[in-house]
Every structure is written in structure tokens, then in C-alpha cells.
Amino acid sequence: MSHDKSGRKGLKKVLLPLASIFLIFQSYKLIVSASQAPIESSVQQFVIAWVINMFVTGIFALTGFAHPTQKLLPESYYSIRNPERLLVFYRKMRIDLFKTFLLATLWRQRKQRKQYFKGTRSDFNTLIRQSKKSEFGHLFPFLILTLVSIYFLTGNAKGLGVFTMLWNILGNLYPIILQRHHRMRIQKIRSRLEIAKF
């Protein structure tokens, strides 16, 4: 049984990065073709912008499922140095509504949420690790898609550039702020628990 598990893990470590490479080529082809043949329909621009976002974000998501990609960034990046500023961003951008939407759709099953946190102290480390992994998986797509949006906006695909950036903010920037807010709260809870020990 353990041999089967390790075999599946090994296969996942190979297949998922290969799928990421496939998405790199698909993303490049789609971005180039969209910039060379401007699309007039706003509906088509909206849909293509969404597909571009899914492809680019998928590149990092698939690799992150197979490997601890979050370790490519130093621990100092993940620490929350200015919680007050983070809280301002969280409130002004209404990340609470985004969180509610996620809990009502993608994370609606309690069983799914319990994979990350079951309510015990030992689960804090798992939750923090998953938070870092998720943030890393959105950070680089956010930067790349911002450049793609600028590329579209400075060319003949301004409408596509606007929609690409809107999807990017919703699909990558919001999750980044949400994950940082999660870690800020976890840090506060852990410090209270440490104080309670004494």
C-alpha cells in the first residue's frame, strides 16, 4: 500500500510539472495570437482574458501541487511586518466578501477545509505551510499577468488588457492578501496560546 502511495507521489511530481510546461506554451500562443489579431467583442475579450489568467495561474498551481515551491522565496517574505497596513487593504478591498464567496463555492465542503485545519494546535503548521504555498502560487502569476496586461494595453488590445488585469486582481491579488491575512491571524492566535502557557 505504501509502495503504491509513493509511486503515485512520484508520478505526480513528474506529470504535474509537465502539464505546467504545456500551459506555458499554450499561454504564450494565446497571448501572442490575441495581441496580433485584436478582438472587438467585449464578451470574447472577457472570456479570453479569463482563459489567459487560468493558464498562467495554472502553471504555478500545478507545480505547487507536486513540489514545495513556496520554499523558493525566503521566510522573511512570508512574515507580516505591517499588520495595520494589511488590515487596511483587507477592509478597503472587501476581501471578506471574497472569502465568503470562496466558502460558499470552492471551499463549501467542511471535509475539504478539514484537510488543512482540524482545530488542533499541531494543525497550525499545516495551515501556515498551505497558506505560503497558496500565496506563492498566486504571487508570480500576478506579476506575470500584470506585465501581460501592460503589453495588451500598450498595443492594439486595450480592452483585453483591462479584462486581463481585472481577472488578475480578483484571481491572484485577492488570494494573496487573504493568505497574508490568514497568517497574521494565526500568528496572533499562536502568540496568545504561548502566553497562556505561562
Along the 198 residues of the chain, how does pLDDT read in single tens digits?
Answer: 455 556 677 778 889 999 999 999 999 999 999 988 878 889 999 999 999 999 999 999 999 888 889 999 999 999 888 889 999 999 999 999 998 888 888 766 666 556 555 556 667 777 888 889 999 999 999 999 999 999 999 988 999 999 999 999 999 999 999 999 988 888 777 666 554 444
State how far the Cα of 42 lies from the Cα of 52, in Å rounded to an integer: 15
Q: How many domains does the chain have?
A: 1
Largest interatomic CA distance in the chain: 67
DSSP 170: I
The model's pTM is 0.85
Q: Tell me how far apart the alpha carbons of residues 167 and 12 are, in angstroms, rounded to a whole number.
A: 29
Classified as helix, coil or strand, 160 is: helix
Residue 66, number of CB atoms within 10 A of its CB: 19
Listed in sequence order, the residues at least 6 apart from 70 whose beta carbon sits closer than 8 Å to its beta carbon are 64, 78, 129, 132, 133, 135, 136
Distance CA 102, CA 175 (A): 10
CB 63, CB 151: distance < 8 Å: no
Closest to 85 measured CA to CA, from 170, 180, 189, 3: 180
Question: Which domain, by its residues, includes 152?
Answer: 2-197
